[in-house]
Amino acid sequence: MANKTLRRLLILESNGSTLPLAIFALALLSGMGILLLFVGQGDVRSGQVGLRVKTTFYKAEAALEDGREELRQWNIASASVTLDEELLAAAGPNGIIDFDPDLAEPIYDASGTVTGFTNVGDDRPLRPLTAFEDGAVAAYLMNDPSDGRTSLVDTNLRLAVTGLAVGPRGSFEKVEAVVRHLDPFPPFGAAITILGQNPYFWGGTSNVKLLTGNNCNQPSPPAPTCPVVGVIGPAAEAIADTGVVKPLTFVEGAETGVDTVDDISGTIAPEWTNCQYLRDLAKMIEGMAEIVGDANTPKGDIGTPANPKIVFIQDDYDLKGNFHGAGILWVTKKLRLQGTVKWNGIIFVVGDGEVERYGAGNGYISGGAIVANISGPDRILFTGDDCAGTDGVVGTADDGIADGGSWDVAGSGTGDTIYCDTDIDLLKLRWPFKPEQFRQM
């Protein structure tokens, strides 16, 4: 009996000593749970803040991109490669660039709506303050740091575009890019450049036409000159020489006739002789073109001197009648130009690489032209046999630009062809500005 009582007492004593430990363990676990709950809530709040910051940052980037496109439109309207007019427009009525991106902060009204930014003065924005979801965006322009941010004189074809964005709960982001004119092409080597080893060139029999490498048909000197016809290799030069049947109509400085047909393989930018580069360039031009058409595209749809355009024709194309075009014209098959047609800018006949000027008239081409046969046996650009070379078989030693590029002046009349860097350079206005430096402020 005594032993049983003793055992009961020992059990009760044992149970009593573990109770505080159980209570302590329970309290510890509860505290850890509460702590983890607070940590989780903090992580959620931190994640929400990070999401707001990222979203606002992306909005600022979008404002910058919108400003970059608007700058291109300003530049097109100015009809000048230099950017002084754009800086003057951005300076606003007081003629001073007041915008300071480092000090700009959002301004709110009593209801919490963004009404503007500090330190912008009367500057004209590229993107005016625009409500965007639960915030607002804007974009401003100033000169690049090397010219002096508030200078109204552009010396290097570079400007700075700033995107501003206000998001929910006061999030604010600023991004800036120094942008420059994109140089889309290497320098042209001649007024007419026919690529490939076996070109066909026929300069026509008219005495009244002019084919000149004198820049924009200005006297030389002082104007720089280039060949009238540029080809690749001495054999190609000998072939092209046979097409100079009216030598006095070919002018390059003091040179005339066959002396204006040159092997430019040692001076031409290597990109022009790279078939894959030409194919990639064709794809880029197609992607940027304002008009992508075929043989039935009306000539009224393509560019004019008052409104130059980038035009990509995936077909033969015939331009005729009293038409004056301007811009970039890319034709993948055969281009036919009637003698009265005028064109200022760049002509690419890269694909089949065939050009024919026919009929009488006082038309001209002023700028530069590239001709190349790269579309392969199926005569369709952007298919698997492109750049297959003269044998038309992909993977053989002659892969690249094929023989057969041709320029045929079949008609009478003037039919002038003039190298002119002014008409080439003005097409830079059609290209977007390329970001060169970027910073988040």
Is 355 contained in some domain? yes
Tell me which residue range forms the domain holding 142: 59-181
The rounded distance, in Å, linking the Cα atoms of 374 and 278 is 8
Residues 359, 248, single domain; the answer is yes
Show which of 130, 154, 181 is a domain's final residue. 181
Q: Is the pLDDT of residue 8 over 70?
A: no
Residues 237, 380, single domain; the answer is yes
Residues 203, 132, single domain; the answer is no
Residues 219, 348, single domain; the answer is yes
Residues 358, 325, single domain; the answer is yes
Is 47 contained in some domain? no
Is 127 contained in some domain? yes
Is 165 contained in some domain? yes
Residues 307, 256, single domain; the answer is yes
Residues 158, 98, single domain; the answer is yes
Q: What is the pLDDT of residue 439?
A: 94
Place of tokens 């000149």: 212
Q: What is the pLDDT of residue 39?
A: 55
Q: What is the pLDDT of residue 309?
A: 92
Least confident of 18-27, 110-119, 165-174: 18-27
Residues 175, 225, single domain; the answer is no
Angstrom CA distances, 338 to 154, 237, 412, stand at: 41, 27, 10
Q: Is the pLDDT of residue 183 over 60?
A: yes
Residues 136, 200, single domain; the answer is no
Q: What is the pLDDT of residue 323?
A: 95
- How many C-beta atoms lie closer than 10 Å to residue 192's C-beta? 28
The rounded distance, in Å, linking the Cα atoms of 260 and 241 is 9
Tell me the CA end-to-end span of the chain in Å, nearest whole number.
87
Residues 306, 423, single domain; the answer is yes
Show which of 149, 181, 213 is a domain's final residue. 181
Residues 124, 209, single domain; the answer is no
Q: Is the peptide bond before 187 cis (omega within 30 degrees of 0)?
A: no
Is 335 contained in some domain? yes
Collapsing DSSP states into helix, strand and coil, what is residue 30?
helix
Share of the chain above pLDDT 70, in %: 89
Is 42 contained in some domain? no
Q: What share of the chain is helix, strand, coil (3-state, %, to 5)?
A: 30, 30, 40
Confidence class for position 238, pLDDT limits 50, 70, 90? very high
Residues 355, 400, single domain; the answer is yes
Is 77 contained in some domain? yes
pLDDT digits (tens, 9 = 90+) for 12-45: 445 555 666 667 667 776 766 666 665 555 554 5
Is 82 contained in some domain? yes
pLDDT digits (tens, 9 = 90+) for 421-440: 999 988 877 788 989 999 99
Q: What integer best gives the mean pLDDT of the chain?
A: 90
Show which of 181, 209, 240 is a domain's final residue. 181
Q: How many domains does the chain have?
A: 2
Q: What is the pLDDT of residue 386?
A: 97
Half-sphere exposure for 80 (CA within 13 Å, toward CB): 9
pLDDT digits (tens, 9 = 90+) for 279-317: 999 999 999 899 999 999 999 999 999 889 999 999 999
Any bridge partners for residue 143, and if so which? 159
Tokens representing 95? 């003629």
Q: Is the peptide bond before 234 cis (omega within 30 degrees of 0)?
A: no
